[in-house]
Amino acid sequence: METRELRYFVAVAQELHFGRAAQRLGIAQPPLSRAVAQLERRLGTALLTRSSRSVALTPAGEVLLAEARAALAAVEAAERRTRRAGSTDRPGLVLAVKAGASAELLAKLLDAHAAEPDAVPVDVLLVGIGEQGQVLRDGRADVALLHRPFDDLAGLDVEELGTEGQIAVLPAGHELGTRPELVLADLDGVPGLPAPRWPGPSGVTSGPGPQVRDHAQLLQLIGLGRTFAVLPDSVRGQLPEGLRAVPVADAPAVTTVIAWPPHSRSLAVAGLVRTALRL
């Protein structure tokens, strides 16, 4: 199987429409139809059920969609990492961090790493919530900080860096902000304060409230009184003036972890991880 065929199939499987998929791929519809049909012939399996009015995935098609995405990410990663290994000007590491999260830990880590004798330059790549795994898997980053149980750690090698409780971050002057402590049930369905939505481990977003990409957006929306959030303790240090932080007794503990792609044989990654574990 060639990556071209996989790209074509993924496009059709996502769009569920040959015409639109062809347009997205920048080719005409007939070659796309033929390519997918040929893929099905070679695999000996129907991947799509077509009824001239609609296209749907067969169970085998579902399997191939998931597997093809992973395989294409691996190929992309190969390309990107090789390019970076070859370009002499930047031999450093790329560290992916959720924008706005773990700021204090990140600062300490970068300082400690820079003080190492064999320090390699580190670029910080700020990504949206839940995107760290993706950038790690497709080669845009070499290491990432993520948070259990929120982020998807599947397929990554991981070391734990620390655990902390969670606090509710509320708009200035909100009645709940005056209490000394909350439980999750207090925050369930507060009138006029919907929970925000962000990309979860399963890739989908859930909840009724506003859609949010990173912590900065989230804090801004809280400042505007449009939502609230339950976040790790360590965000206290970066709360804008006026927001209220209240411990949430029964919120699950958050573990910050450092992760890297499984077959990374890079000494530079190992060095950064070692530094992180010493903090």
Where do contacts with a copy of itself occur on this chain (CB under 8 A)?
Answer: 1-4, 6, 43-47, 58-60, 62-64, 66-71, 74-75, 77-79, 81-83, 85-87, 139, 154-157, 261-263, 265
Query: Least CB distance from residue 31 to DNA, whole Å?
Result: 4
Question: In whole angstroms, how close is the CB of 200 to a copy of itself at the nearest point?
Answer: 15
Contact present, 29 and 18 (Cβ < 8 Å): yes
Q: Quote the CA–CA distance of 192 and 223 in Å, as a whole number.
A: 14
Kind of pairing between the strands at 143-148 and 93-98: parallel
Residue 172: contacted member of DNA, a copy of itself, none (CB under 5 to 8 Å, by partner type)? none
User: Closest by alpha carbon to 101, among 268, 255, 271, 278?
Assistant: 255
Q: Binds 43, which of DNA, a copy of itself, none (CB < 5 to 8 A, cut-off by type)?
A: a copy of itself
Rounded (10°) CA dihedral 153, 155, 160, 164? 0
Q: Which residues contact 257 (CB under 8 A, 6 or more apart)?
A: 145, 146, 147, 148, 153, 158, 159, 160, 161
Residue among 33 and 255 whose Cβ is closer to DNA: 33
Could you say which of DNA, a copy of itself, none residue 265 binds, taking C-beta under 5 to 8 angstroms by partner kind? a copy of itself
Determine the Cα–Cα distance for residues 164 and 240; give it in Å rounded to an integer.
21
Task: Please identify, using beta-carbon distances, which residue of 79 and 250 lies nearer to a copy of itself.
Answer: 79
The minimum distance between CB 72 and DNA, in angstroms, equals 16
| Residue 67 site contact among DNA, a copy of itself, none (CB < 5 to 8 Å, cut-off depends on kind) | a copy of itself
* CB neighbour class for 61 (10 Å; exposed up to 12, middle 13-18, buried from 19): buried
SS3 256: strand
277 interacts with, out of a copy of itself, DNA, none, CB within 5 to 8 A per kind? none
**Interface contacts to DNA, rule CB under 7 A:** 4, 17-19, 26-31, 33-38, 50-53, 55
Which residue, 137 or 215, is less far from a copy of itself as judged by CB? 137
Give whichever of 33 and 45 is closer to DNA, judged by the CB atom.
33
